[in-house]
Amino acid sequence: MNLVNIFLTLDGIGTGTGFCYQTANVWQIVGYALLVFKIVIPILLIIFGILDLGKAVMASKEDEIKKATGSLVRRAIAAVVIFLIPTIVTFLVGMIGGFNGEAKDDYEVCKSCINNPIGGCANADTLWGKEKEGE
């Protein structure tokens, strides 16, 4: 029995009221956190790198400028990697086969809530109680 089959045998996984559907609000919060980290951390890394390079240029020391330039390049690479990590993880998880139609639909709920928490997580609205107000 592979890992996918173990997950599919759990109650509610892969159904219209599956795990991802029932926990959409949690995945939406994770999506908001990833969105903030994906934007803020790369910007901060580049700003700190530029500040370090600026200090080195003001000091007019060749070895400090070289060191700060290397640091800026490493920080820029780290910023790009941090920005792309969610995309890479989504791509790798999407390559995993073996999901049946219902489990894939349930996975799409998690994926949409994490990748697009602002407008792509329709199920979270009902779970946050917005639908129950009209009842």
Q: Residue 21: which of 30, 9, 12 has the closest Cα? A: 12
pLDDT digits (tens, 9 = 90+) for 29-42: 888 888 888 888 88
Q: Domain residue spans in the chain? A: 20-117
Please give the pLDDT value at position 14. Answer: 44
Q: Is the pLDDT of residue 85 over 60?
A: yes
Please give the pLDDT value at position 2. Answer: 45
77: how many CB neighbours lie within 10 A of its CB? 11
Q: Is the pLDDT of residue 28 over 60?
A: yes
Q: Is the pLDDT of residue 24 over 60?
A: yes
**Residue type for position 94:** G
Average pLDDT in the chain: 74
